[in-house]
Homo-oligomer: A and B are copies of this chain.
Amino acid sequence: MAKPPEPTGDFTETAVSSKLAYDGGLLKVKRDEVRLPDGAIAWREYVLHPGAALILPVFDDGSVLLERQYRYPKQRHFIEIPAGKLEAGEEPLATARRELIEECGYEASEWMKIAALDPTIGYSNEVIHLYAARGLHHVGAQLDEGEHLEVFEARLSDALEWVRDGTISDSKTTFALLWWDKWGRFP
């Protein structure tokens, strides 16, 4: 396998000053003054995010567990796989285990780290840690207050067709399904 070509430029931007420009209940926005590689001064605004864990739950027959929920910023329902934000001091795998129970009501006997995905590098520092989970057994969901969703099983081939036709357009979910389809197998 070839490696990417050696970089010819260093485009690092260095902080000159940094402030918390918006401190909301969910979103924290930083606004930093930065020095560009050409010496000019500019500013960068971005969301501070604690990171998230993402779970692709795979049943013994190869089908996957999906959920359907309403996403207010987009004003419509989405088909997704389970995910959740890291709590303070929480390891990503612990978040993944917790969210799979809370949102879907499943425990898994086997977990495999697949990848880390950066969903929004232009304006957020979020990273999403993706795990595949198998050996699923139902223990009952424990939705957070104000959390409303439903879960269902689907064949991987169907879920992929829903990516192709746009029924599934959530970036974390498309990544997990396409990655698993191309490279996924449990040891």
Contact = CB atoms under 8 A, between A and B. Distances in A.
Interface of A: 1-2, 4-5, 7-9, 11-13, 21-22, 24-27, 29, 31-32, 34, 36-38, 40, 42-47, 66, 68-75, 77-80, 115-126, 145-146, 148-150, 152, 154-155, 158, 160-164, 166-167, 169-172, 174-175, 178-179, 181-183
23 contacts: A1-B158, A4-B66, A4-B79, A8-B150, A9-B150, A11-B69, A11-B77, A11-B149, A22-B22, A22-B27, A22-B29, A26-B44, A26-B123, A27-B123, A36-B146, A38-B148, A73-B123, A163-B179, A171-B175, A174-B178, A175-B175, A178-B179, A178-B182
| Tally of this chain's copies | 2
Contacts of A171: 117-120, 171-172, 175
Nearest to A121: B71
Contacts of A166: 115-116
A119 B116 contact: no
Nearest to A30: B73
Given A11-B70, A36-B148, A47 B44 contact: no
A24 B24 contact: no
- Chain A interface mostly: mixed
B9 A125 contact: no
Contacts of A44: 26, 72-73
Given A26-B123, A123-B27, A169 B116 contact: yes
